[in-house]
Amino acid sequence: MTKPGGPAVRLIVPGNVRHNSGGNAYNAALARGLRALGAEVDICRVDGNWPVGSEEERRRLAELLLDGVDHRGSSGRETSRTPVTIVDGLVALGAPNALEEAAAAGRPAWILVHMQLAEHRDLEGRALAAAAGVICASSTAAAEIRERHNPPRHSSAGGSTMPIHVALPGTAAAPPAAGSNPPHFLAVAALLPNKDQILLLKALAGIRDLPWTASLVGSDSADPAYAEAVRSAITGLALGGRVSVQGELRGQALDAEWDRADLSLLISQAETYGMVVTESLARGIPVVVRDGTGAVEALAAGSQAVAEAPDGGGTAALPGTAVVRGTDPAPLEAVLRHWLSTPELRLRWREAALAARNRLPGWDVTAGTVLDLIAAAG
């Protein structure tokens, strides 16, 4: 129940992302965390071809920002106070005119950045400059924004620099995974080119001489053509008896997949964080990620000081490792073969994951950070 006197927050999120993305999961968990801390939260889903959208879609966003209260929000009622507006970057970063109009009218909105708008740097810079504040969902995202905009200038602050804040994703507590025999690999991600499941399948094809099974869990409707390419690759690489495509799972079905996993795999070409990494660690499951992405930051969440492992199989204090970014499956194949063939490495990564599990921050920390930022801004 919402505690009396808490702030009113309106969270504007994209209505065109239907699959269970990291951004969607973050937004929903943030809203729950804010409510638990006493905030009055209204989630407003705005339809549109985001990012950027059409002229009409951007106009509707501007009207929503200027309105101050969305009468069609998730609460089904008007908020009793003027809310602080936070807009998901997928909506905001490509619609600077809407942010500028709101700022000029004295109703500037905060922007919650999950990932940069790589193809529209100028639009992104203008939107950030018009924001009441910028909150990034990872230190990696914040560093990328600072590098691109150095940092952005606030149009109404006489040329002063805009601070960029970080509110890292929290993690829900979960029981340790039981694992499987033979070992089971789990890749939780929508079937999308960026997630690079086809590269993963090529790596798995190279270790068919060893015992293992694997599941791909994630939406197969976000990009039907790529999903079909993934299924064709499974057939073409003779992995039909080893790799299953589960689609998007929830509830007990997803919990069952987590419970049977021994190693989690997230080898996206680009990630600003990768919440599935900390979700894995919450269950004591080590993770292999791709170097040069924000997933490396997530892999270190909850870990203590890092020292190089003597066998080169990762780092002694990390619950997994990062493989080089590229199009060659050989580095990933080598890591998976080494993990399968080296019981000592499997034990060390598992122990590190179990240790990190006890140090992961919850969503109350994320929500508290956001509330503190809003309060400090006045």
- Same domain for 58 and 147: yes
- Same domain for 255 and 163: no
Confidence (pLDDT) at 378: 73
Backbone angles phi, psi at 247, to 5 degrees: 75, -170
Shortest CA distance to 114 belongs to which of 2, 273, 263, 7? 273
Q: How confident is the model at residue 302 (pLDDT cuts 50, 70, 90)?
A: confident
In percent, how much of the chain has pLDDT > 70? Answer: 88
Q: What is the DSSP annotation of 306-332? A: --B-TTSSSBTTSSEEEEPPSS-SHHH
Residue 228 falls inside a structural domain: yes
- Same domain for 336 and 365: no
Q: How many CA atoms lie within 13 A of 322 on its CB side?
A: 22
- pLDDT at 76 exceeding the cut of 80: no
For the chain, the domain total comes to 2
Residue 3 falls inside a structural domain: no
Q: How confident is the model at residue 67 (pLDDT cuts 50, 70, 90)?
A: confident
pLDDT tens figures, 19-52? 678 888 999 999 999 999 999 999 999 999 999 9
Shortest CA distance to 85 belongs to which of 116, 56, 62, 117? 62
What is the pTM assigned to this prediction? 0.87
Cα gap 163→23, rounded to integer Å = 22
Residue 370 falls inside a structural domain: yes
Cα gap 138→325, rounded to integer Å = 20
Average pLDDT over residues 146-171: 73
- Same domain for 257 and 115: no
- Same domain for 231 and 112: no
- Same domain for 19 and 142: yes
pLDDT tens figures, 93-102? 999 999 999 9
Residue 2 falls inside a structural domain: no
- Same domain for 373 and 298: no
27 is written with which tokens? 């937004």
Which CATH number characterizes residue 303's domain?
3.40.50.2000
Residue type at position 129: A
Confidence (pLDDT) at 153: 52
- Same domain for 370 and 331: no
Cα gap 35→37, rounded to integer Å = 5
For the beta carbon of residue 147, count every other beta carbon within 10 angstroms. Answer: 10
- Same domain for 196 and 134: no
Confidence (pLDDT) at 377: 84
Which of the 8 DSSP states describes residue 191?
S
119 is written with which tokens? 């193809």
- pLDDT at 222 exceeding the cut of 50: yes
Residue 101 falls inside a structural domain: yes
- Same domain for 346 and 304: yes
pLDDT tens figures, 312-344? 444 447 999 999 989 999 999 999 999 999 999
- Same domain for 159 and 227: no
Average pLDDT over residues 207-220: 97
Residue 1 falls inside a structural domain: no
- Same domain for 159 and 70: yes
Confidence (pLDDT) at 163: 82
Q: Which residue matches tokens 């950045």?
A: 113
Choice between 74 and 129, residue whose per-residue pLDDT is larger: 129
132 is written with which tokens? 């009441």
Pairing state between β 133-136 and 110-113? parallel
Q: What is the DSSP annotation of 296-310? A: HHHHTTT-----B-T
The parent domain of residue 136 ranges over 8-170+361-377
Query: Residue 238: helix, strand or coil by DSSP?
Result: coil
